[in-house]
Structure 1
């Protein structure tokens, strides 16, 4: 799903932000302050030799600004990373591996180009974060392959503010006839096609802010991410400042979110690199969940230096996201007990559910698409699991 979390841009523009940094421009390139610039405490433990095996700079494209979803990636940055404010990037040693890591912001930072599109435009990008829906939708024209499933359950949710409503299933929302404010996403065709939602209740005009939600007193249902909007609405949006109710999409729809993937035609030539690199991402998530503060502090610092039109992070928001990653089972071991693996039966179910709607929309998946075409566990270290 394309991320449209620009709530902070709105609260900044109308003066409703609580504890968010002011909007403004930044200088071109800086080092983070001493409080956040020393890299993560565990970075020296990432010492698998990558020099001469991986690119000298491993470029990772994210799909949004720094946020809790990418905490494990920032965990890998070694000492004194540099912030390129003009290009919305941060780079530094990839632990003690002998190569560098460059993390690129997505969403507004790249004019909302998808990671699939950026793969095609810039050959320097080795890895990128994509939702598996995107991988399946683009499998015919812009194929890519997921090599790690950081999230076992998508943080995607539908939320509402009317406390008298108590939707328990997606079908409950559909039967209510309540307006569902969303973007234009692949999974919606599946939900409508299966009769869970009514086409007439779908409003595709969501542009990322929360003004309409607040203006309508939360009586509509809106798409969002459980690691973001609930905390912001309760703590950062003074015009709302109360909890919302939500329903997790992943309880009924087998999506994999924020899959770490590679352009398909680059897979063979990078096999040796990926066999060493992917386990580092696995270990980084284990370390990040055990002690998220260093990476969170770095992401707060990085975001504060970028011209994000008001999007900011706070320690409270990130801490709440870390709690939800664990308590809601967003980040957990795969069905085989290994962190980061894909369930091929679940991937097949997703392909099956998406194909009719994508075909009707004129973007059919590759003919005969199978799970092995879009995901692989080849590079996973089966000895790495979350406690």
Structure 2
């Protein structure tokens, strides 16, 4: 699995900030000294936004990394009455969708260092209170044997992962292949996507360097390298928040060169799908719409995300500037779009899923992460809960 998530630890400096001692008790209220009152109407009883009676009293959602704008669809559902558990690193409040109280609570948990970098499917099998997890398709395939999950909706349509380079050191380069032409290292934290590039002749295998630790230290000191990153964050951070750099970077999305996975898609444990079907029939359309609504009006959610980062105190840094840039990039770069095949937002394309299995099954076998690439693509997803009337253009 391509695990690049140890990426922006302490971007504003050139050293990794140590984890701070956490002295707050679990279940602590937010930084304002207590939960705000929820001032929204209740959903119409038994209507499409009423989740009471069909969903768990607290709908637990597990993200794969620290709070950030790429996770806005989840965090945008957290009501104003939320509380923050600083020790457990979670936020809980009324689940508010489309301006109404759905009758249940939502708890959003971050991943990455907060869970010792465990993959989300593993977490879902360790704790069956997690209903929805953010699982990228190559990670889903990697965990299929021991922790099978089923994707029920896409949130980010295309991966924001990129390869970036210094435009002065790679003058005139507009693609990864052009930037890599002189043989400089591609520094990454996982080998699946570099191996994908090597298999296509975009880079040579000798250029793969898996020593990326998530800081800008090496890129700043050796601008000849190519480096993994997120097009929704690093271009802004490197130009505006790293004083030792403070200039643009160039990049290409790896989704343009074969990294076709669904990033951070919403998944349910395979053995929990049927028993949660009534809940998912209402919750999945809410998640489809929440991503669209978030991108249209992100301010309050971005402020919550930044506040959570500040309260969690894990060494991760995240600013409103990055969050606002991310929202714009998600839209401008086509990272969040309707499914091109159907025109429905969040729907999984069967042909694309089959292509993903063909490509990444082989790569994961070669990487020693799975034993067999004999995988039925249809076992990885279902569109049965998708509301096909929901689109970004509607």
The TM-score, its normalising length taken from structure 1, stands at 0.90
C-alpha separation in 2, matches of 1:230 and 1:209:
14
What is the match of residue 85 of structure 2? Answer: 84
2:75 partner SS: helix
Conserved? CA contact 2:120–2:133, under 8 Å: yes
1:230 matches 2:235: yes
C-alpha separation in 1, matches of 2:367 and 2:169:
36
Equivalent positions of 1:320-331 (< 5 A) are: 320-331=325-336
What is the match of residue 158 of structure 2? Answer: 153
Superposition deviation, residue 359 in structure 1: 1.7
What is the match of residue 239 of structure 1? Answer: 244
2:59 partner SS: strand
1:99 partner SS: strand
What is the match of residue 203 of structure 2? Answer: 197
C-alpha separation in 1, matches of 2:36 and 2:256:
39
User: Structure 2 vs 1, CA of residues 56 and 321 (structure 1 numbering), >3 Å: closer, same or farther?
Assistant: same
C-alpha separation in 2, matches of 1:117 and 1:161:
37
Conserved? CA contact 2:288–2:346, under 8 Å: yes
C-alpha separation in 2, matches of 1:320 and 1:40:
29
What is the match of residue 292 of structure 1? Answer: 298
What is the match of residue 129 of structure 1? Answer: 134
1:278 partner SS: helix
Conserved? CA contact 2:15–2:215, under 8 Å: no
What is the match of residue 31 of structure 1? Answer: 29
User: Structure 2 vs 1, CA of residues 197 and 283 (structure 1 numbering), >3 Å: closer, same or farther?
Assistant: same
Gaps of at least 5 residues in structure 2 are: none
What is the match of residue 368 of structure 2? Answer: 362
What is the match of residue 60 of structure 1? Answer: 61
User: Structure 2 vs 1, CA of residues 280 and 333 (structure 1 numbering), >3 Å: closer, same or farther?
Assistant: same
User: Structure 2 vs 1, CA of residues 219 and 206 (structure 1 numbering), >3 Å: closer, same or farther?
Assistant: same
Superposition deviation, residue 235 in structure 1: 1.1
What is the match of residue 250 of structure 1? Answer: 255
1:276 partner SS: helix
C-alpha separation in 1, matches of 2:213 and 2:318:
20
1:264 matches 2:265: no
Superposition deviation, residue 110 in structure 1: 0.7
1:277 matches 2:274: no
More helix, by proportion: 1
What are the Cα deviations for residues 188-227 of structure 1, in whole angstroms up to 9, with x where unaligned?
Answer: 33332333321110001111111011111x2100001011
Superposition deviation, residue 33 in structure 1: 5.0
RMSD over aligned Cα atoms: 2.6
Gaps of at least 5 residues in structure 1 are: none
Conserved? CA contact 2:43–2:102, under 8 Å: no
2:103 partner SS: coil
Conserved? CA contact 1:179–1:221, under 8 Å: yes
What is the match of residue 98 of structure 1? Answer: 103
Conserved? CA contact 1:150–1:260, under 8 Å: yes
User: Structure 2 vs 1, CA of residues 319 and 40 (structure 1 numbering), >3 Å: closer, same or farther?
Assistant: farther
What are the Cα deviations for residues 324-346 of structure 1, in whole angstroms up to 9, with x where unaligned?
Answer: 01110111111211111112211
What are the Cα deviations for residues 205-259 of structure 1, in whole angstroms up to 9, with x where unaligned?
Answer: 111111011111x210000101111111111111111111111111122121111
2:133 partner SS: strand
User: Structure 2 vs 1, CA of residues 138 and 40 (structure 1 numbering), >3 Å: closer, same or farther?
Assistant: farther
Conserved? CA contact 2:344–2:390, under 8 Å: yes
User: Structure 2 vs 1, CA of residues 233 and 45 (structure 1 numbering), >3 Å: closer, same or farther?
Assistant: farther
Conserved? CA contact 2:365–2:373, under 8 Å: no
What are the Cα deviations for residues 103-144 of structure 1, in whole angstroms up to 9, with x where unaligned?
Answer: 001001111111122122111111111111111222233211
